[in-house]
């Protein structure tokens, strides 16, 4: 379950960066809104999958609700996926020790 969550989190984070730093400039600088439609829809679907995976991990891995909320908030921030990965690794390390 943890590996699935981490994978979805990473892909969702990358799609967010693509949307913000590639698709949006193409739309507003080059005047092509099509890229935002495609990348935006993809990101939206991935964000929903992220939320489902987060809720699943919360239940199956017995995560604290506060920790899960922090991960959710981090997913809203550009480059937040990297911080999510760091926090999940720290929790995983604590569990193993």
CA atoms within 13 A on the CB side of 65: 0
Nearest to 74 by CA among 4, 7, 1, 10: 10
Q: What is the mean pLDDT of residues 41-52?
A: 97
Tally the domains of the chain.
1
Q: What is the pTM of this model?
A: 0.91
pLDDT, residue 95, reads 75
Residue where the block lists tokens 């239940």: 59
Mean pLDDT computed over 35-45: 96
32: tokens are 């092509």
Q: Tell which residue, 51, 81, 89, has the closest CA to residue 68.
A: 51
Residue-number span of the structural domain to which 17 is assigned: 2-96
pLDDT higher than threshold 90 for residue 41 = yes
Quote the CA–CA distance of 28 and 9 in Å, as a whole number. Answer: 27
């Amino acid at each position: 379950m943890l590996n699935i969550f981490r994978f979805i989190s990473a892909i969702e984070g990358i799609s967010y960066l693509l949307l913000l730093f590639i698709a949006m400039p193409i739309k507003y600088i080059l005047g092509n809104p099509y890229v935002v439609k495609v990348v935006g829809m993809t990101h939206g679907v991935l964000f929903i999958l992220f939320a489902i995976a987060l809720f699943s991990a919360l239940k199956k891995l017995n995560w604290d609700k506060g920790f899960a909320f922090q991960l959710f908030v981090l997913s809203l921030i550009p480059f937040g996926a990297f911080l999510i990965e760091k926090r999940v690794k720290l929790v995983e390390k604590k569990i193993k020790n």
